[in-house]
Amino acid sequence: MERKHYTQEFKREAVEVSGRPIPEVAADLGVGRATLNRWIKES
């Protein structure tokens, strides 16, 4: 299975979503919760 690659812009916009639970945002974007958590920590 090939890994997905996301642009820096996509990651930045995902991190900027505020006021919503991480699991909800991750599901809406089609990324894993751990992935979104990592992007948040790296920002």
> Is residue 19 domain-resident?
yes
> Is residue 22 domain-resident?
yes
Taking each helix axis as running N to C, give the angle between helix 33-42 and helix 22-29, from 0 to 180 degrees, rounded to the nearest 10. Answer: 110
Q: How many domains does the chain have?
A: 1
- Domain of 31 in residue numbering reads as 8-42
Q: The pTM is what?
A: 0.85
What three-state secondary structure class fits 10? helix
pLDDT tens-digit map of 1-43: 788 999 999 999 999 987 799 999 999 999 999 999 999 999 9
> Would you give the end-to-end CA distance of the chain in angstroms?
27
